[in-house]
Chain A
Amino acid sequence: MSEINAAVTGGSISADVSGRYIAREHHPEQGTLLGFWLYLMSDCLLFASLFATYAVLGRNYAGGPTGAELFDLSLIAINTGFLLLSSITFGFAMISAQAKNLAKTQLWLVVTGILGLAFLSLEIYEFQHLIHEGAGPQRSGFLTSFFALVGTHGLHVLFGVVWLVTLFVQLAKHGITPENFRRLACLSLFWHFLDLVWIFVFTFVYLMGVLP
């Protein structure tokens, strides 16, 4: 529309260009965040299909072990605590980044990364334990869908940690530039999104799996 205006009024080009600039620039900086949000929504659909698979296959034990026999809820509670804590520590990193405090941002990022790794280690320990007991993904439909769903979430956390380390290096090199702040904001969305998915993993898979 503004391009037509520019063509009609012709005259002073510089004024028209700035006019077009304003008209186009409704919310340009948030473009990345909106795009990232759309990615998260599509990721949601990926998880939805995995949850649907688990909902369908979750009770097909094929004579093998059931969720009630396999799941150690206190372990899951600890893991949930790690992830929830890492959510708030990432929040502190964002607050520090907003206050342009590089050292504090990095400190909170390290804490978040350690909590993420703690979560992953416990999950890997759990998986190893299950496979060792003969309850690997090929044992039954229940275990296949379980490993697919929980494993995909774990992979997301792993990539979140990789991203976090990358950003840590970026911050160390360039400081809290607008670009780095934008990246942090995206990672913050990603990290909290993983905690959101985990709410449904522990409710739907672990807690409901233990119920008769």
Chain B
Amino acid sequence: MSDHHHDHDHGHGHGSNYEVHYSAKDYAVGFVLSLVLTAIPFWLVMNATLAPDTTRWVILGFAAVQLVVQMIYFLHLSTKSEAGWNMMALILTIVLLVIVMSGSIWVMHHMNENMMPGMGPTNTHEMT
């Protein structure tokens, strides 16, 4: 829009006003990393290499790492994007997400434990 704006803010010409620079290298790195981070958990589960409980935590770990990888390489998120507001909104969302998820799981787990024997979710599939 205005010329001086271009100069003092991000100023990388191109006629595009966006801070993001889309580069093939970023996408390639993100893609290869995501592919590896997807293939390993699938392989772990399909071959039942580890004990189920260990597998659960390991594949959750892989998902978390892949989340970060895609945020950086595909969504081009950094602490500087949109003057930090993107990151602030993301942090707030993650806080809310953790509260909703852990709260629901925690509350419902205790409720199930306090229910009458035979009504918990672990026993329901034995009843018909």
A-B contact count (CB 8 A): 158
* CA–CA, A61 and B42, complex, Å: 24
Query: How many positions in chain B have a CB within 8 Å of any CB in the partner chain?
Result: 63
Pair B101/A55 contact, Cβ less than 8 Å: yes
Q: Is B114 an interface residue (CB 8 A)?
A: no
Q: Is B79 an interface residue (CB 8 A)?
A: no
- Residues A193 and B85 in contact in the complex (CB < 8 Å), given A92-B27, A207-B45: no
Pair B74/A91 contact, Cβ less than 8 Å: yes
Would you give the 0/1 interface string for B5-38, flagging 1 where the beta carbon is closer than 8 Å to chain A? Answer: 1000100001111111111101110110011001
Residue of B nearest to A37 (CB): B86
B63: chain A residues within 8 A (beta carbon):
199-200, 203-204
- Residues A61 and B125 in contact in the complex (CB < 8 Å), given A25-B1, A87-B31, A192-B75: yes
User: Of B1, B27, B92, B101, which one neighbours A88 at CB under 8 angstroms?
Assistant: B27
Q: Which of B59-80 contact A (CB under 8 A)?
A: 59-60, 62-63, 66-67, 70-71, 74-75
Pair A59/B82 contact, Cβ less than 8 Å: no
A202: chain B residues within 8 A (beta carbon):
38
Q: How far is the CB of B73 from chain A (nearest CB, A)?
A: 9
A92: chain B residues within 8 A (beta carbon):
24, 27
Pair B1/A28 contact, Cβ less than 8 Å: yes
Q: How far is the CB of B127 from chain A (nearest CB, A)?
A: 6
New A-B contacts (7) at CB < 8 Å, excluding given A59-B122, A88-B27, A203-B62: A25-B2, A29-B18, A30-B19, A45-B97, A60-B124, A94-B22, A199-B66
List the 10 shortest-distance A-B pairs measured between CB atoms, nearest first: A91-B27, A52-B104, A29-B17, A203-B63, A192-B74, A56-B108, A94-B22, A88-B31, A41-B93, A48-B97
CB within 8 Å of A: which residues of B? 1-2, 4-5, 9, 14-24, 26-28, 30-31, 34-35, 38, 41-42, 45-46, 52, 55-56, 59-60, 62-63, 66-67, 70-71, 74-75, 82-83, 85-86, 89-90, 92-93, 96-97, 100-101, 103-105, 108, 121-122, 124-125, 127-128
